[in-house]
Amino acid sequence: MKINLKSRRDLELMRAAGRVVYRALTRAKELAHPGMTTLELDRIVYDTYTSAGGQGLFLWYPTYAPGKGFPGNTCISVNDEIVHGIPGGRVLRDGDLVSVDCGIRLGGYCGDSAITIAIGKISPDQQRLCDVTQEALALAIREIRPGRRWSDVATKMQAYVESNGMSCVREFVGHGIGTRMHEDPKVPNFVSDEFRKRGDFYLQPGMTLAVEPMVILGSPDVVVLDDGWTVVTKDSTPAAHYEHTIAVTATGSDVLTDGR
Ligand code: MG
Ligand code: MG
């Protein structure tokens, strides 16, 4: 495991990338409405970050050979889709929950963030799912500080989610981020014996992590669809996904994708 620590200048550049991601997701939230396709929503995000000079990191990931890899600028996952949904002709309807994940590079540095957007009027359970997932991320932001083990933060995230009767996705995790979107370490939102033995790490100033709780209203099992990308809940209950790119500072954490 090789964790790259960032300088003050690196962090400024990452914040500049993060600001563009924030703007793109904010625009998606403002403009998403019933009757729109997920491809139209993808285009809004794409236009926002490209007009700011950002380069998308998802299209044709991981090879970046055209025609091979992920076929979209953003990941758009609706209702029981958790992550890696492919933008297309699906029409958004009143009561849908839409997770939009956006990663870009700007000035050589990456920003990665995701939000779940309510389309029209959603149910109390859907609202609770969004609130719990967002609070799991907020809790991590409050708990991050140098000298603490990641497993201690992840334990609190998992306990919070499960105390609300919901489940943490185990197949997908957050990650270090910097000049590349995916750097060491792996940053799970739950704890396992395997992680404690081989993956755990101490938080240090200059670390930059993409923390991204993926929460399911029902049970934790997931299935990958035949398209090879879209991850859905096995029990068809809805999922939510929130992500920020976060720097560890001398005293705590600093969110780089919150628009500041
Ligand atoms: Mg992301
Ligand atoms: Mg990520």
Q: For residue range 214-252, list pLDDT tens digits in order.
A: 999 999 999 999 999 999 999 999 999 999 999 999 999
pLDDT at 241: 98
pLDDT at 220: 98
The tokens of 155 are what?
A: 């334990």
Nearest ligand, measured from the Cα of 56: 1
Q: How far is the CA of 17 from the centre of ligand 2 (A)?
A: 14
Helix pair 150-163, 124-143: axis angle to 10 deg: 160
pLDDT at 128: 98
**Nearest bound ligand to CA 173?**
2
Percent of the chain with pLDDT over 70: 100
For the chain, list the strands marked E by DSSP. Answer: 55-56, 75-78, 81-83, 97-106, 109-118, 167-168, 174-176, 183-187, 208-211, 214-216, 222-224, 231-233, 239-241, 244-248, 253-255
The residue written with tokens 């790490």 in the block is: 201
Query: Which pLDDT does position 123 carry in this prediction?
Result: 98
Q: Which residues surround ligand 2, an ion (CB under 5 A)?
A: 112, 210
pLDDT classification of 42: cutoffs 50, 70, 90: very high
Q: Tokens standing for 72? A: 């979209």
Residue 211: nearest ligand to its CA?
2
Q: What is the pLDDT of residues 158-172, one digit of tens each?
A: 999 999 999 999 999
Cα of 112 vs centre of ligand 2, distance in Å, is: 5
31 Cα: distance to centroid of ligand 2 (angstroms): 23
The answer to whether 221 and 235 have CB atoms below 8 angstroms apart is yes
Do the beta carbons of residue 115 and residue 41 sit within 8 Å?
Answer: no
Contact 206, 229 (CB under 8 A): no
Please report the pLDDT score of residue 117 as a whole number.
Answer: 98
CA of 197 to the centre of ligand 1 (A): 26
Instruction: Tell how far the Cα of 212 is from the centroid of ligand 1, in angstroms.
Output: 7
> Both ends of the chain: CA-CA distance in Å?
31
Mean per-residue pLDDT over the chain, rounded: 98
Residues 205-232: b if buried by 16+ CB within 10 A, e if exposed: ebbbbbbbbbbbbbebebeeeeeebbbb
Tell me the CA–centroid distance for residue 173 and ligand 2, in Å: 8
**Which percentage of the chain shows pLDDT scores above 90?**
100
pTM across the whole model = 0.98
